[in-house]
Each structure stands twice: as C-alpha cells, then as structure tokens.
C-alpha cells in the first residue's frame, strides 16, 4: 500500500497507471538532500552517543549508593512521552527558556531573549540531544534486563582477581557478552531515530526539516495528488533507515576486528579513572537534563503569565488542570484497556513463539525481519493501506481494531526486548527439570517463566508504553471513536498552548510510569529472599 502509490497507482485519486512522476517530483524538491542527510546522520549519531553513555555508565557502575540512585532516576524517564521530553527540552534550552530565565538578567544581562538559533538549529543538534535523552533510558533498561543472566559480578570478580580495574574488567569481560543481547534494541533505536516525527517537529531543523517530517507534511497536504510524492518519500525513508542500519552493521564488524587486540592486550588499568568518572557524569547529566525538562513542564502546568526574564511565573493557577481533568476519564480508561489487551496478547504470542522455538531448537529465522517492518516504515504511509484493508473486509472502526493495530508495534518491541534473554537462558535449568520427570508445561511454568520474570515484566512495561504512545493508528483505525490520552494530547499539542500541553503530557506519562514501576517492583517482591533473581531492580 506504500509501494503502489509511490509508483503512481491509487485508483481513488485517479492514478491507475504505473509511472515515475512521483519520484521525479520528489527529487525536484528543494532541500531534499539535506533532509536525507539529516535523517541519516541524526539517527546514527544519536544511537552512538546514547549507547556510549550507557556502556560507560555500566562499566563505571560499582553498585554504590550514588550509582543505584542515578539508575533509579533514569527508569521513570522512559515513561515520559517523546513529545513531552521535546517540549520540555525546547523550553529548557531556548534563548527565552528556563536556563536563560534563571541566568538573566543577573549573569547574562539579557532583558530580552537573545536572537540565537538554538532550538531548530540547521544541524539538528537540539533534535539529537532530545533523542539521546529518550534513548539512554531505553538502552539502559534493556541492558539491565539482559545483564541479569550474564552474571556480570562473577566475570568482573574473576577479572579483578587478575588485577584488572573494575571498569576495564567490565568492558573487556561483560560488554562483549552483553552487546549481542541488546543488539536488536540498538537497531530499533536507529530505526526510530532516523524516522522520528514528533520530536523532529519540535526540536528539528525547519528549512528543510528531516525527511520524516517532510513526508508527514506532504501526506497532510490538502492537495491530495501530493500523496503520490509522499508515498515515494516513504519508500525513500525506508531506504534511509536501512542505509543507517547497514552502516551501523559495518561499524559493528569494524569494531569487532579492531578491538580484538585491545581485549587481550592485558592492559589492566589505563583509562579506568576516566571511565569511572565519565560514565557517572554523563548519565547524571542526561538524568538532570530530562528531570529539568520535566520540572519545566510541571512548572508550566500551574503557571499564569510568565514574562522573560522572570525566574518564576508571575502568578500560579490551577486553571489548566481544572479545565483538562474533567474530560480525561474516558480517554484514560481507553488507553489503559487497549494498552493492557495489546500487551497481554503480544506477550502470549511472543512467549508462545519463543517457547516453541526453544523446545524445537529452532534458530532465529530470517522471517523475523518482517516483524520489524512496522518499526522502520513511516506509520503514516502504511496505515492508510491498513484502513483500506479493514474497510474492504467490512471491519468497522472499534476498540478491537485499535488493539490489533497496536499489536503491529507492540509485538516487535516485546519480541526484541525479550527474545535474546529467552534464547540465552541456560538450557540446563529446563533440562534438569525434565530429567527429574517434570512435563514440559511444568518446566515452563515453574522454571523458565520465574527465571525470566524480570525481563518479561520489563518487556511488558516497554510494550505498554509503546501502545500508550500510539497516535495515528489509534485515530485512523479507531475512526475517531476511541479517544485515548495520546489522541487528546496530540490534538491539543497542535494548538500549542504550552500550559495545557504540559498538563496532558504529565497525564500521558502517568500510565507508563506505573507500568515501569511495577516491572521493577514485582521481581523485588516476588524474589524478596533471592537477591540474584531480582534482575533489573
């Protein structure tokens, strides 16, 4: 449904022959090359920086009080919607933003905001910063879930007994084993960062915008014939994302080759102090920035008029909350019921598939790439086809259809969050159970599931957050009959009232926040007496 219109075929708009006009129109667009480069590089750089910060922190992590605190503060960040982080960050760093207000006029001497291009900068630095803020918590959580089964303490202890500094020991003995487990999440980050729309709209460059934003503009253009070009753009976007993934894969190969010598060169101490400091400092900065962005939002949700350069709003008011709260009950219930159904169904499907593969020792199949397609093709491009498909077979817009659409996005995230942990679980546990006469289902319920409790709950929390964040699938497949907190928030965001946006963003963050808290809390309660089993907590 994306491909056909890209080549001129969409009968309802009078396109009934195949041709390349859409592509010619696309290539002729002003600024297309810059758009492509922006999407490509912002995706790669974001992922690299986010991964770097996470790895450095994990290497530096000594399980001290400070480390645990930083780590606990990071997880809730995952719950904040992308758009909310973007709004918060934009308000933090803009020339008229929170930082400038706190420093002005005292330090800077500014009575009026300086005319500086910080947000929407042409190189996309603000956009990348925003993406890093969101992707660091994601990668950290994924790593922590995977680490649980690698027994990093044992590896580090062994290496330390050979005289390695703790952080070097972690990098040389744990990371090479960890990376394969978080590889798919890393790929998901690349795909997401190259095609992100909401953050790019708020923080990204505008002349021209990133490719994904251009595509949305064309799809939304009142001139319906632009949809042909938009479809061609969506195919191009897929190409850009794949190119970024390929580049990363080549980079992986190169790093693997080049690091061989370093891994075994016996150097035990060099750089460990820098790593220990850098890891903590970087992650703290990320956390601090994100928290300040959130604080800015919270402040705005109760702000009256707030003139630059005042450090605080002139007046405070609960108006904004009072106006929004009465109308959010139904959306909240919808959001929760759809999110839970989608997550439960997805968990059932994914666990059944993985269990089947594990029992029959099936290798990972190439087909699984199909599963990830919804994550890398721009939503707006293929959702139209999905609506046509549902309508063609006579399925009316309803709750169940929205759940089905969410599954398209929830299943891949759940799969990629869980599959490696599942596959790499030491098979001897189950073998022991079977050899003791337990039937396979019992080995599954009593051995495998409890052992995988932490990663499974984390994956579910991620899925819930993914479902809650869906806007276009909910709106288009629900035919507007299924309002969720996110459809409300996005519609309100189009009006740009920062105070009301802040209220809705905080509400939108609430449900995933509860999800992530439960994912961390439940293993702690269930395994209160078994410290090794708590995993990510």
- DSSP, collapsed to helix, strand or coil, labels residue 309 as coil
Give CA angle at 79 (76, 83), nearest 5°.
Answer: 125
Cα 206 to Cα 314: distance, rounded to the nearest angstrom: 32
Of 209 and 278, the one with the shorter C-beta distance to other proteins is 209
Of 122 and 176, the one with the shorter C-beta distance to other proteins is 122
Cis preceding-peptide flag for 105 (omega within 30 of 0): yes
Of 212 and 458, the one with the shorter C-beta distance to other proteins is 212
Judged by CB under 8 A, does residue 493 bind other proteins? yes
Beta-strand relationship, 15-16 and 9-10: antiparallel
User: Which of 438, 462, 458 is CA-nearest to residue 448?
Assistant: 438
User: Which of 153, 143, 237, 129 is CA-nearest to residue 183?
Assistant: 143
Judged by CB under 8 A, does residue 490 bind other proteins? yes
Judged by CB under 8 A, does residue 499 bind other proteins? yes
Q: What is the dihedral of CA 208, 210, 215, 221, to 10 degrees?
A: -40
Using the contact rule CB under 8 A, the part of the chain among 203-211, 290-298, 348-356, 528-536 near other proteins is: 203-211
Which residues lie below 8 Å from residue 185, measured CB to CB, with a gap of 6+? 138, 139, 142, 416, 417
Cα 436 to Cα 309: distance, rounded to the nearest angstrom: 72
In the complex, minimum distance from the CB of residue 392 to other proteins, in angstroms, rounded to a whole number: 4
**Of residues 98-127, those binding other proteins (CB under 8 A):** 112-113, 115-117, 120-122
Of 275 and 387, the one with the shorter C-beta distance to other proteins is 387
In the complex, minimum distance from the CB of residue 305 to other proteins, in angstroms, rounded to a whole number: 5
Judged by CB under 8 A, does residue 22 bind other proteins? no
Cα 120 to Cα 13: distance, rounded to the nearest angstrom: 35
Q: Read off φ and ψ for residue 52, nearest 5 degrees.
A: -55, -45
Residue from 63, 107, 305, 436 touching other proteins (CB under 8 A): that is 305
Of 71 and 498, the one with the shorter C-beta distance to other proteins is 498
Residue from 10, 93, 196, 211 touching other proteins (CB under 8 A): that is 10
Structure tokens at 236: 């191009």
Which residues lie below 8 Å from residue 293, measured CB to CB, with a gap of 6+? 85, 87, 88, 89, 91, 92, 133
Residue from 272, 463, 487, 508 touching other proteins (CB under 8 A): that is 487
In the complex, minimum distance from the CB of residue 297 to other proteins, in angstroms, rounded to a whole number: 14
Cα 348 to Cα 356: distance, rounded to the nearest angstrom: 12
Judged by CB under 8 A, does residue 3 bind other proteins? no
CB 6 within 8 A of CB 22: yes
In the complex, minimum distance from the CB of residue 200 to other proteins, in angstroms, rounded to a whole number: 11
Task: Identify the helix (H) or strand (E) that includes residue 16.
Answer: strand 15-16
**Of residues 380-399, those binding other proteins (CB under 8 A):** 384, 387-392, 394, 396-397
Judged by CB under 8 A, does residue 82 bind other proteins? no
Residues in binding contact with other proteins, number by CB under 8 A: 75
The 8-class DSSP code of residue 148 comes to T
Which residues lie below 8 Å from residue 507, measured CB to CB, with a gap of 6+? 324, 328, 332, 485, 489
Of 331 and 455, the one with the shorter C-beta distance to other proteins is 331
In the complex, minimum distance from the CB of residue 310 to other proteins, in angstroms, rounded to a whole number: 10
**Of residues 25-64, those binding other proteins (CB under 8 A):** 29-31, 34
Give CA angle at 369 (422, 457), nearest 5°.
Answer: 30
In the complex, minimum distance from the CB of residue 118 to other proteins, in angstroms, rounded to a whole number: 10
Residue from 16, 221, 252, 426 touching other proteins (CB under 8 A): that is 221
Using the contact rule CB under 8 A, the part of the chain among 249-257, 408-416, 446-454, 478-486 near other proteins is: 478-486
In the complex, minimum distance from the CB of residue 291 to other proteins, in angstroms, rounded to a whole number: 22
In the complex, minimum distance from the CB of residue 91 to other proteins, in angstroms, rounded to a whole number: 9
Judged by CB under 8 A, does residue 426 bind other proteins? no
In the complex, minimum distance from the CB of residue 401 to other proteins, in angstroms, rounded to a whole number: 11
Judged by CB under 8 A, does residue 491 bind other proteins? yes
DSSP H stretches of helix in 393-444: 399-424, 427-435, 440-442
Cα 528 to Cα 537: distance, rounded to the nearest angstrom: 11
Judged by CB under 8 A, does residue 161 bind other proteins? no
The 8-class DSSP code of residue 147 comes to H
Of 25 and 349, the one with the shorter C-beta distance to other proteins is 25
CB 228 within 8 A of CB 22: yes
Q: What number of other Cβ atoms are within 10 A of residue 105's Cβ?
A: 13
Strand boundaries in 304-453, DSSP class E: none
Judged by CB under 8 A, does residue 476 bind other proteins? yes
Of 252 and 310, the one with the shorter C-beta distance to other proteins is 310
Residue from 317, 337, 353, 368 touching other proteins (CB under 8 A): that is 317
Of 342 and 493, the one with the shorter C-beta distance to other proteins is 493
In the complex, minimum distance from the CB of residue 449 to other proteins, in angstroms, rounded to a whole number: 41
Judged by CB under 8 A, does residue 280 bind other proteins? no
Judged by CB under 8 A, does residue 84 bind other proteins? no
Using the contact rule CB under 8 A, the part of the chain among 149-157, 199-207, 346-354, 409-417 near other proteins is: 199-207
Q: What is the dihedral of CA 430, 436, 439, 443, to 10 degrees?
A: -30
Residue from 63, 65, 161, 207 touching other proteins (CB under 8 A): that is 207
Judged by CB under 8 A, does residue 222 bind other proteins? yes
Judged by CB under 8 A, does residue 486 bind other proteins? no
9 - beta bridge partners?
A: 16
């Amino acid at each position: 449904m994306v491909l056909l219109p890209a080549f001129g075929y969409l009968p309802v708009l009078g396109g009934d022959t195949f041709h390349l006009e859409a592509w010619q129109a696309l290539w002729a667009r002003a600024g297309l090359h810059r758009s492509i480069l922006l999407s490509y590089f912002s995706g790669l750089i974001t992922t690299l920086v986010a991964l770097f910060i996470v790895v450095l922190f994990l290497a530096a992590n000594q399980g001290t009080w400070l480390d645990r605190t930083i780590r606990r503060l990071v997880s809730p960040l995952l719950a904040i919607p992308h758009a909310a982080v973007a709004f918060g960050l934009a308000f933090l760093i803009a020339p008229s933003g929170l930082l400038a207000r706190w420093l002005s006029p005292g330090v800077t001497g500014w009575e009026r905001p300086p005319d500086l291009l910080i947000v929407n900068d042409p190189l996309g630095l603000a956009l990348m910063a925003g993406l890093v803020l969101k992707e660091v918590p994601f990668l950290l959580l994924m790593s922590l879930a995977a680490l649980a089964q690698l027994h990093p303490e044992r590896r580090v202890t062994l290496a330390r007994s050979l005289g390695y500094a703790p952080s070097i020991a972690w990098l040389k003995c744990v990371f090479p084993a960890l990376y394969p487990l978080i590889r798919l999440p890393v790929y998901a980050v690349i795909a997401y960062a190259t095609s992100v729309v909401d953050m790019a709209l708020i923080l990204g460059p505008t002349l021209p915008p990133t490719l994904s934003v251009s595509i949305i503009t064309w799809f939304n253009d009142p001139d319906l014939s632009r949809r042909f070009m938009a479809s061609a753009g969506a195919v191009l976007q897929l190409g850009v994302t794949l190119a970024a993934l390929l580049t990363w894969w080549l980079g992986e190969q190169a790093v693997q080759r080049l690091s061989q010598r370093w891994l075994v060169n016996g150097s035990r101490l060099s750089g460990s102090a820098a790593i220990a400091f850098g890891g903590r400092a970087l992650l703290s900065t990320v956390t601090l920035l994100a928290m300040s962005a959130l604080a800015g939002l919270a402040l705005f949700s109760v702000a009256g008029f707030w003139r630059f350069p005042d450090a605080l709003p002139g007046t405070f008011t609960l108006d904004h909350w009072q106006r929004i709260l009465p109308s959010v009950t139904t959306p909240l219930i919808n959001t929760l019921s759809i999110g839970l159904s989608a997550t439960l169904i997805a968990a059932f499907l994914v666990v059944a598939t993985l269990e089947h593969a594990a029992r029959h020792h099936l290798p990972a199949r190439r087909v699984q790439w199909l599963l990830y397609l919804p994550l890398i093709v721009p939503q707006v491009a293929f959702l139209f086809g999905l609506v046509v498909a549902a309508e063609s077979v006579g399925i009316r817009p309803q709750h169940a259809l929205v759940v089905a659409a969410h599954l398209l996005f929830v299943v891949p995230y759940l799969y990629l969050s869980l599959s490696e942990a599942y596959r790499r679980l030491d098979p001897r546990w189950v073998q022991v159970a079977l050899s003791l006469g337990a039937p396979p289902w019992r080995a599954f319920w009593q051995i495998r599931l409890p052992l995988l409790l932490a990663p499974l709950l984390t994956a579910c929390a991620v899925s819930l957050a993914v479902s809650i964040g869906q806007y276009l699938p909910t709106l288009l497949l629900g035919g507007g009959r299924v309002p969720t907190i996110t459809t409300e928030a996005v519609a309100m965001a189009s009006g740009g009232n920062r105070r009301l946006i802040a209220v809705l963003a905080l509400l939108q963050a609430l449900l995933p926040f509860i999800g992530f808290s439960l994912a961390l809390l439940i293993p702690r309660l269930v395994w209160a007496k078994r410290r090794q089993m708590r995993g990510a907590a």
